[in-house]
């Protein structure tokens, strides 16, 4: 497959090359690698890959923050929490007051302290 200069093969190779980006420790060198990779992608004339490279360039400072934090934090936890909060607040029951919305969030997110004013069912 490598002997053919197909766009799909080149796109696959560029994708695989990007995997080395995660191995960097220094934000400086990771940024240099990212810039070189984006330049190669932009010269590849593969439109979907160029779209990815433009997105990566636009979010470059945020991506490099992961290296500055020494890869200790993942935004996956925060994104999951935000999704759960949005789903809870979109439920069709409607919350008339902020306090009711707060109580619903306590119930949905679990393992959080419940306020004293919740209903008691006997």
Question: Tens digit of pLDDT for each residue in 32-80?
Answer: 999 999 999 999 989 999 999 999 999 999 888 888 887 666 677 778 8
Provide the pLDDT for residue 53. Answer: 93
Global pTM exceeds 0.85: no
pLDDT band at 87 (very low <50, low <70, confident <90, very high): confident
| Calpha distance 58→56 (Å, rounded) | 5
Residues 63 and 84 in one domain: no
| Calpha distance 34→77 (Å, rounded) | 25
Mean pLDDT rounded to a whole number for the chain: 81
Residue 39 structural domain: 7-68
Residues 61 and 89 in one domain: no
Residues 80 and 29 in one domain: no
């995660």: which residue's tokens?
22
| Calpha distance 44→15 (Å, rounded) | 12
* 50 vs 4, more confident: 50
CA dist list (Å): 19 to 22, 31, 84, 121: 6, 14, 30, 54
């Amino acid at each position: 497959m490598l002997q053919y200069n197909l766009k799909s093969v080149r796109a696959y190779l560029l994708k695989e090359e990007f995997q080395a980006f995660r191995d960097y420790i220094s934000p400086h060198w990771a940024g240099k690698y990212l810039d070189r990779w984006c330049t190669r992608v932009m010269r590849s004339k593969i439109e979907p890959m160029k779209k990815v490279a433009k997105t990566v360039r636009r979010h470059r400072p945020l991506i490099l923050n992961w290296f500055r934090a020494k890869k200790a934090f993942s935004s996956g936890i925060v994104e999951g929490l935000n999704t759960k909060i949005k789903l809870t607040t979109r439920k069709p029951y409607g919350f008339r007051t902020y306090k009711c919305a707060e109580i619903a969030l306590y119930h949905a997110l679990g393992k959080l302290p419940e306020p004293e004013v919740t209903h008691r069912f006997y």
